[in-house]
Structure 1
Amino acid sequence: MTVDELDTRILRLLLERPRTSVREYARILGVARGTLQARLDRLERDGVITGTGPALSPAALGHPVLAFVHIEVTQGHLDEVGDALAAVPEIVEAFSITGGGDLLTRVVARDAGHLEDVIQQLISLPGVVRTRTEVALRERVPHRLLPLVESVGRSAARK
């Protein structure tokens, strides 16, 4: 999908001011509301915009501990283990990976003891061979997409 300069400006506004109305976005950008809506519809249809919900803080929900748990799985059981991970509420993301392990999960917990309980739950899943856990100490770069959006926009403008 090609993202042009207007798409980049739209995406920047969505990231910087997510609770603004479509009419206000159109006014800020100096485009017709219909033009903006058509662009938003296309960006959603093409999978660039994947959601519009709020960003939630696990820490504010009582889960300040963040860990990355690598899971090694018995061959042929990746799908079953992946499905079982979806039933563990403390797992907020899980990915199939290459390298040291088969799955990488992002796990949140109330404290170190709760994290150990979650890890023990993961180890007990059929098909899990072993886990390796890395606890995050401090977030250095928060989840962000604006620099990528701006880079893609600059690349499109040069073409």
Structure 2
Amino acid sequence: MQIDETDRALIALLSADARAPVADLARRLGLARTTVQARIDRLLDRGVIAGFTLRRGNALRAPVRATAMVTIEPRAQADVLSRLKTLPAVETVHTTSGRVDLLVILSAASTEELDATLDRIAEARGVRSSESLIHLSTKLDRRS
């Protein structure tokens, strides 16, 4: 699908504030409200915009965040993912093409909770090894 500069500008505005009223977006883009609504509908229909979602602010995030780099046995991904889905501290899981198979983003209320979750990950059937990195501070977050 072709997207033009106006679509890109609209996507940027929605990325900054997905709840912005269409009338405000139209005013900022110098377009009619109906034109902006039609563009949003078209971007949604064609999958350029997958949807609108809620992102938790820092006030709701657990204070200890980490990334676990997990290497798994061949053909063990389904079992490992099933285990990861049961762990409340696991926020997201990404497959990779590097030296590890999965990047697991964790958010825990305490270092004890994080430690217990990391132990459960390491004990999961199919996990060959894991290495964790505790997030200290965020220097850039384009999602917020």
TM-score by length of 1: 0.79
- Check the 8 A contact 2:80/2:127 in 1, yes or no: yes
- Check the 8 A contact 2:71/2:100 in 1, yes or no: yes
Structure 1 spans left out of the alignment, 5+ residues: 146-159
1:63, distance to aligned residue in structure 2 (A):
0.9
Number of the residue aligned with 1:31: 31
CA–CA distance in 1 between the matches of 2:109 and 2:59?
A: 10
Q: Label 1:2 to 1:105 Cα distance change in 2 as closer, same or farther (>3 A).
A: same
CA–CA distance in 2 between the matches of 1:36 and 1:90?
A: 39
SS in 2 for 1:60: coil
Greater relative contact order (CA < 8 Å, ≥ 6 in sequence): 1
Give the stretch that moved more between structures: 127-136 or 10-19. Answer: 10-19
1:62, distance to aligned residue in structure 2 (A):
5.3
1:134, distance to aligned residue in structure 2 (A):
0.8
Number of the residue aligned with 2:102: 103
| Residues 63-82 of structure 1: pairs in structure 2 closer than 5 A | 63-82=62-81
User: Percent identity over the alignment?
Assistant: 30
TM-score by length of 2: 0.86
Number of the residue aligned with 2:136: 137
RMSD: 2.0
CA deviations over 1:24-47 (Å, ceiling 9, x no partner):
322332222232122112222233
CA–CA distance in 1 between the matches of 2:74 and 2:85?
A: 19
| Residues 41-56 of structure 1: pairs in structure 2 closer than 5 A | 41-56=41-56
SS in 2 for 1:140: coil
Q: How many residues are matched?
A: 144
Q: Label 1:112 to 1:82 Cα distance change in 2 as closer, same or farther (>3 A).
A: same
CA–CA distance in 2 between the matches of 1:122 and 1:131?
A: 8
Give the stretch that moved more between structures: 82-91 or 72-81. Answer: 82-91
- Check the 8 A contact 2:68/2:105 in 1, yes or no: yes
Number of the residue aligned with 1:21: 21
1:70, distance to aligned residue in structure 2 (A):
0.9
CA–CA distance in 2 between the matches of 1:136 and 1:118?
A: 15
CA–CA distance in 2 between the matches of 1:62 and 1:139?
A: 13
SS in 2 for 1:139: coil
Structure 2 spans left out of the alignment, 5+ residues: none
Number of the residue aligned with 1:60: 59
Q: Which runs of 4+ in 1 moved over 6 A?
A: none
